[in-house]
Amino acid sequence: MNILLLGSGGREHALAWKMKQSSKLTKLFIAPGNAGTAEVGENVDINPNDFEAVKAFILSNSINMVVVGPEEPLVRGVKDFILNDPQIAHVPVIGPGKEGAKLEGSKEFAKAFMMRHNIPTAGYLSVTDSNLEEGIAFLKTLKAPYVLKADGLAAGKGVLILDDLAEAESELKQMLSGKFGSASSTVVIEEFLSGIELSVFVLTDGHGYVVLPEAKDYKRIGEGDTGLNTGGMGAISPVPFADDVFMKKVHERIVKPTIEGLAKDNIPYKGFVFIGLMSVEGEPQVIEYNVRMGDPETEVVIPRLKSDLVDLFEAVAAGELRKKTIEIDERSATTVMCVSGGYPEAYEKGKEITGIENIKEGLVFHAGTTRKEGKVITAGGRVIALTAYGSNKDEALKQSFNNAQAINYEGKYFRSDIGFDL
């Protein structure tokens, strides 16, 4: 089977690395990929949001399956585009269509979905210009801190958590007047949930599903979870507090009603569901849905999956996932992300990366890297993820940190406290 994987981050390198191990794979292409994916497949210079270019590539390279890494092509409707084109409609896509992708693309849609299907989540009100007064009145009923979310995709920046009521009111107005463009013309005001976060990953064909290992990521740039939000600075799987009792609650109260809810709402869904949860005194509540795998969570979740990923994707495409069970590596996996100096604010690219060849234990997943004149150079804020296994998280983390130290480039930074709160 020839597979085209869309995306270019650490998540895509991990997915590509795993698919490469399958005996069912003939050729793997990654669009556009990075210096790491080039070692497990062939990078092709196509923008995943350029659907006509994707189509031309599918036709000229006899692609049998498209796997979508990031959310943007999904929210823009790459699945519907392929499905509605008679020349390529036969090519299965791993990733939901436009309607399913609203679980991530519209916070309001996701909240209404959870309410409709009795899935535990924070109380909320959806606000536009037309009910601003109601929004302000709702804010006054809440206790600080106040959570404001732009309805649409805002490159991970659309969530504000504010301590002061007057500031929350003022930010609400600014959001509605275009602080995040059209993404914030609707704002979801939410109750603040206090607890510890966890990410749960489900692969589904819309009816059957498998629950992948859970993970915890570390979003803030600074040690001790301080400073600006990033795409993710590291991750750990399994998560010690997510014991059998907790995961049973997650399964029964959240995973099952989510998949059944999609079916009841007649939303076909073949792909990943990433459920961001908060454990509030041991009770799981949904913070958000994403319609893809997490990054850097994929860099710990996928290394713990022993089953053949291409075989699972085939079952998803055929609607036969019910027949599958998965095998999980009992070991811990951790990843530490090396980023560019300055990230998540302005940073420089093009720095030569050395030391990768010195890493003997563990896995190196490239994120923002590219190859130029025979050298691997930085090409993004998050540069490279160092994944390691261990019999427990501390053992794995020790190796991840050692490997992060072995990588060199100007301005390198990584958090040396991943896992500190567990």
Question: Residues interacting with ligand AMP, by CB under 6 A?
Answer: 122, 147, 159, 190, 192-193, 197, 219, 276, 287-288
Partner in contact with 24, chosen from ligand GLY, ligand AMP, none, beta carbon below 5 to 8 Å by kind = none
Partner in contact with 334, chosen from ligand AMP, ligand GLY, none, beta carbon below 5 to 8 Å by kind = none
Which residue, 13 or 216, is less far from ligand AMP as judged by CB? 216
Partner in contact with 288, chosen from ligand AMP, ligand GLY, none, beta carbon below 5 to 8 Å by kind = ligand AMP
Region of residue 295 (left: phi > 0; alpha: psi -120 to 50; beta: else): beta
Rounded least distance, CB 159 to ligand GLY, Å = 11
Which residue, 66 or 110, is less far from ligand AMP as judged by CB? 110
What six digits make up the tokens of 8?
């270019």
Smallest CA-to-CA distance from 359 within 403, 414, 400 is with 403
Q: Which amino acid is residue 159, in one-letter code?
A: V
What six digits make up the tokens of 345?
């604010």
Cα distance between residue 91 and residue 68, in whole Å: 13
What six digits make up the tokens of 292?
């893809």
Which residue, 192 or 413, is less far from ligand AMP as judged by CB? 192
Rounded least distance, CB 380 to ligand GLY, Å = 14
Q: Which amino acid is residue 22, in one-letter code?
A: S
CA–centroid distance for 76 within its chain: 17
Partner in contact with 73, chosen from ligand GLY, ligand AMP, none, beta carbon below 5 to 8 Å by kind = none
CA angle 165/225/304 to nearest 5° reads 125
Q: How is 290-301 classified by DSSP, letter by letter?
A: ESS--TTTHHHH
Partner in contact with 122, chosen from ligand AMP, ligand GLY, none, beta carbon below 5 to 8 Å by kind = ligand AMP
With the C-alpha atoms ordered 304, 309, 311, 316, is the resulting torsion angle positive or negative?
A: positive
Which residue, 160 or 212, is less far from ligand AMP as judged by CB? 160
Which residue, 85 or 197, is less far from ligand AMP as judged by CB? 197
CA angle 398/400/402 to nearest 5° reads 70
Partner in contact with 147, chosen from ligand AMP, ligand GLY, none, beta carbon below 5 to 8 Å by kind = ligand AMP
Partner in contact with 232, chosen from ligand GLY, ligand AMP, none, beta carbon below 5 to 8 Å by kind = ligand GLY
Q: How is 116-173 classified by DSSP, letter by letter?
A: HTT--B--EEEE-GGGHHHHHHHHHHSPSSEEEEESS--TT--EEEES-HHHHHHHHH
Rounded least distance, CB 25 to ligand AMP, Å = 33
Q: How far is the first Cα of the chain from the last one, in angstroms, to the nearest whole number?
A: 41
Smallest CA-to-CA distance from 6 within 39, 48, 38, 44 is with 48
Which residue, 132 or 159, is less far from ligand GLY as judged by CB? 159
Q: In this structure, are residues 169 and 139 in contact, taking their beta carbons and an 8 Å threshold?
A: yes
Cα distance between residue 14 and residue 387, in whole Å: 10
Cα distance between residue 331 and residue 389, in whole Å: 6
Interacting residues toward ligand GLY by CB under 6 A: 217, 232, 290, 294-295, 297
Which residue, 91 or 122, is less far from ligand AMP as judged by CB? 122
- What number of helices (H) and strands (E) belong to the chain? 13, 23
Which residue, 12 or 217, is less far from ligand GLY as judged by CB? 217
Strand partners, 235: 217, 335
Which residue, 104 or 314, is less far from ligand AMP as judged by CB? 104
Rounded least distance, CB 23 to ligand GLY, Å = 30
Which residue, 159 or 317, is less far from ligand AMP as judged by CB? 159
Partner in contact with 10, chosen from ligand AMP, ligand GLY, none, beta carbon below 5 to 8 Å by kind = none
Partner in contact with 295, chosen from ligand AMP, ligand GLY, none, beta carbon below 5 to 8 Å by kind = ligand GLY
Partner in contact with 190, chosen from ligand AMP, ligand GLY, none, beta carbon below 5 to 8 Å by kind = ligand AMP
Rounded least distance, CB 71 to ligand GLY, Å = 8
